[in-house]
């Protein structure tokens, strides 16, 4: 099997080639720049974390696929991606007039959840040591929360820049529920991916049921909240009333 370093290098080369080609004469250079800001931040984070937290080949492949789809959307602007022309080129009979909008952005939001929730799960399992139910729930929750954050950033950028650029970046295409639908599709994609992951683990992992049950067991039987604050307060008073020797 090819080493991870070589595989990631090959994958990076393919992505950079596609990105460079799509950077040539985009439909709207201003929108292209705005769409690429989060992409560059995300890629920079991947590069910075590579030594400390190298991901699996599967995760890097899923990430690369999503970034390429995003680069395509940035090149054309999401509302103008000629997906119908591509469908006809491979022999499919598609009339874009049968649809009330260009749904490429909807597809990419769904694939955001479907493709990126597994890398998120890998990070959480390795860093936060999540297990059982929480190893499936929190990746979906983070996918939904990051999708919501992106929608808020889109809204903020559209308010700041306004005009045609703001409209192109926001990409609602006249749908007042665009943001909610985008988030819902990201959540559905993440749910589908985690359901497939759970099914595979259930079939292949001997201790799946035990680990799931253990993750839902109450670990701290005593209440927290005001009880925990009272305990911390009493501990602080004891330490201040009887400081360790040698301290003032």
**Distance, CA of 22 to CA of 77 (rounded, Å):** 11
**Distance, CA of 82 to CA of 98 (rounded, Å):** 14
Domain residues of the chain, as ranges? 4-218
pLDDT in tens, 33-44: 988 999 999 999
pLDDT for the residue 31: 85
pLDDT for the residue 79: 84
**Residue 183, Cβ density class (10 Å: 0-12 exposed, 13-18 middle, ≥19 buried):** buried
> Given a cut of 70, is residue 192 above it in pLDDT?
yes
pLDDT in tens, 92-104: 776 666 567 778 8
Q: At what angle do helices 104-127 and 178-204 cross, to 10 degrees?
A: 50
> Given a cut of 60, is residue 248 above it in pLDDT?
no
**Distance, CA of 16 to CA of 6 (rounded, Å):** 15
CB 64 within 8 A of CB 87: no
Mean pLDDT of 211-217: 94
> Given a cut of 70, is residue 171 above it in pLDDT?
no
Mean pLDDT of 134-153: 94
Over the chain, what is the mean pLDDT?
A: 88
Q: Which tokens in the block code for residue 109?
A: 């939001």
Q: What is the SS3 assignment for the chain?
A: CCCHHHHHHHHHHHHHHHHHHHCCCCCCHHHHHHHHHHHHHHHHHHHHHCCCCCCCHHHHHHHHHHHHHHHHHHHHCHHHCCHHHHHHHCCCCCCHHHCCCCCHHHHHHHHHHHHHHHHHHHHHHHHCCCCCCHHHHHHHHHHHHHHHHHHHHHHHHHHHHCHHHHHHHHCCCCCCCHHHHHHHHHHHHHHHHHHHHHHHHHHHCCCHHHHHHHHCCCCCCCCCCHHHHHHHHHHHHHHHHCCCCCCC
Which whole-number Å values give the CA distances from 63 to 31, 94, 124, in the listed order? 22, 29, 16
Higher pLDDT among residues 77 and 60, named by residue = 60
pLDDT for the residue 162: 66
């Amino acid at each position: 099997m090819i080493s991870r370093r070589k595989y990631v290098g090959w994958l990076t080369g393919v992505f950079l080639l596609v990105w460079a080609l799509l950077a040539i004469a985009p439909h709207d250079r201003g929108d292209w720049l705005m769409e690429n800001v989060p992409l560059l931040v995300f890629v920079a984070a991947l590069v910075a974390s590579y030594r400390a937290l190298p991901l699996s080949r599967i995760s890097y492949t899923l990430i690369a696929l999503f970034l390429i789809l995003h680069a395509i959307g940035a090149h054309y602007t999401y509302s103008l991606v000629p997906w119908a022309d591509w469908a006809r080129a491979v022999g499919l009979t598609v009339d874009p007039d049968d649809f009330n909008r260009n749904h490429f952005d909807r597809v990419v939001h769904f694939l955001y959840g479907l493709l990126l929730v597994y890398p998120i799960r890998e990070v959480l399992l390795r860093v936060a040591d999540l297990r059982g139910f929480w190893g499936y729930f929190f990746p979906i929750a983070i996918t939904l929360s990051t999708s919501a954050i992106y929608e808020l950033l889109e809204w903020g950028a559209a308010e700041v820049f306004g005009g045609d650029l703001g409209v192109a970046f926001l990409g609602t295409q006249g749908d007042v529920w665009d943001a909610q639908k985008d988030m819902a599709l990201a959540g559905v994609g993440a749910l589908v991916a985690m359901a497939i992951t759970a099914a595979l683990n259930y079939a292949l992992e001997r201790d799946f049921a035990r680990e799931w049950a253990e993750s839902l067991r109450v670990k701290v039987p005593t209440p927290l909240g005001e009880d925990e604050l009272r305990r911390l307060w009493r501990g602080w008073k004891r330490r201040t009333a009887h400081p360790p020797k040698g301290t003032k």
